[in-house]
Chain A
Amino acid sequence: MFFTCKQVSEHLSKEDYAKLPPFRKFTLIFHVMFCPICGKYNRQVMKFQDMARKFRKQEEDFLESDSPNFPSMDTSAKDRLKASLEQAQATESPQSGS
């Protein structure tokens, strides 16, 4: 019925509490709200969620960037890649009638 700290920390760590049935979820939130230990642990896990969300945005900027300071495929690698794609395309879709 009610959660022990052990069960709470397990749910928080695995971040699977969103899938709990509504009443169970409510009891968990209630426990976290009033238990100082679980509350603190929860804040730490949430900080990482927050960090990951912000990092996702940063990563997208990094992937999209035109800056030469970031790693990119060199021209010869790109040419090889283009050649292999062309070859694959030629075998994938042979021109009908020719």
Chain B
Amino acid sequence: MAEQDPHETFETHLWVDKYGDYLYRYALMRVRDPQVAEDTVQETFLAALKNLHQFDGRVDVKYWLRGILRNKTVDYIRKSVRRQELQNEQVQEIVGQILFKTSGIPNKRPKPWAFDPDEAFAQEEFWEAFKACLEGLSDQMRTAFYMKMIDEVETEEICKELDISDNYLWVMLHRARAQLKDCLELKWAKS
């Protein structure tokens, strides 16, 4: 049996029509800039073509492409965030504050939600608000939140890919949660 051309098997000529919008939206959610989103999608397709032999077929081609795209968007964020938002001393200070807040004063507990989350989760408009709030986070915070909470990447892996320390990530996640909560309460609790 003659060996098939991998490009033919993968129908690479249909990729743009089949996966273009899917990947573009995925990138847009993470990098926010339409031009950057387009560029990262292009880089993804090109990288995939080059590495077709590495595709093992264990997941759908779409998810394989999405995995490559995820790395491209993280690369972009790491490079575009020239300077960490916080200095190391600030990180230490905030870590101290978080610990103090959660364990220092017994009666100062985290505030409950201003709305019923379970009820909100069932409504489509809530997720529009959630998406808008995610977009409002800084690039680094949003990326950390996506990697940890949505993509479920291991902590060590996130720190390596974003080139940040363990404590720095912790502070980012803590702040992302707090900011999201505030934003959701503003956008949702009032409606």
Among A53-81, those with CB < 8 Å from B are 54-56, 58-59, 62-64, 70-73, 77-78, 81
- The reply to whether the CB of B68 lies closer than 8 angstroms to some CB of chain A is no
> Does B150 contact A71, Cβ atoms closer than 8 Å?
no
Residue among B5, B17, B99 making CB contact with A93, cutoff 8 Å? B5
A58 CB to nearest chain B CB (Å): 4
Of all chain B residues, the one with the shortest Cβ separation from A95 is: B5
CB-defined interface of B1-24 with A at 8 Å, one 1/0 digit per residue?
A: 000010100001101110011101
> Does B127 contact A72, Cβ atoms closer than 8 Å?
no
> Does A14 contact B20, Cβ atoms closer than 8 Å?
no
Of all chain A residues, the one with the shortest Cβ separation from B109 is: A40
Residue among A8, A14, A58, A77 making CB contact with B38, cutoff 8 Å? A77
Interface size class of A (residues with CB under 8 A): 35 or more
- The reply to whether the CB of B34 lies closer than 8 angstroms to some CB of chain A is yes
Of all chain A residues, the one with the shortest Cβ separation from B177 is: A48
Residue among B131, B150, B174 making CB contact with A13, cutoff 8 Å? B174
> Does A89 contact B12, Cβ atoms closer than 8 Å?
yes
The complex places the Cα of A16 from the Cα of B148 at a distance, in Å, of 11
> Does A40 contact B155, Cβ atoms closer than 8 Å?
no
The complex places the Cα of A12 from the Cα of B130 at a distance, in Å, of 23
- The reply to whether the CB of A20 lies closer than 8 angstroms to some CB of chain B is no
**What are some 19 contacts across the A-B interface (CB < 8 A)?**
A5-B102, A10-B170, A13-B170, A38-B102, A41-B102, A44-B110, A49-B149, A54-B127, A55-B130, A55-B150, A56-B150, A71-B28, A77-B38, A78-B20, A81-B20, A81-B45, A84-B45, A85-B13, A85-B16
